[in-house]
Amino acid sequence: MVKLQRLGIVISDRMQKSVVVAVEYRYKHQFYSKIVVRTKRYLAHDEKNNCNIGDEVIVEESRPLSKRKRWIVKKILNKAVLIS
């Protein structure tokens, strides 16, 4: 069975072992011929709490882990630069 993977950006890391990942979809509108951007938010499992806000990650589909959590953080591609 092939598992789906998505590329997104972490927008929230306030939960323990969970992050919210925003995935953008771009497509051309059939009538207006403009590029439309849609954003979908996924709750993903982050076992070691490695992700921070702004990180670019790959999430992979998994079995249901809770009511809304059905994705696992597979890999962190780019770490966000923290400015303080």
Q: What's the pLDDT at 40?
A: 98
Q: pLDDT band at 83, cuts 50/70/90?
A: confident
Element (DSSP H or E) covering residue 25: strand 18-28
Domain boundaries, the chain: 5-78
From CA 68, how far away is CA 20, in angstroms rounded?
11
Q: What is the pLDDT of residues 1-20, one digit of tens each?
A: 789 999 999 999 999 999 99
From CA 80, how far away is CA 69, in angstroms rounded?
23
pLDDT of 45 strictly over 90 = yes
From CA 74, how far away is CA 27, in angstroms rounded?
26
At residue 31, what is the residue type? F
What kind of architecture, by CATH, is found in domain 5-78? Beta Barrel (2.40)
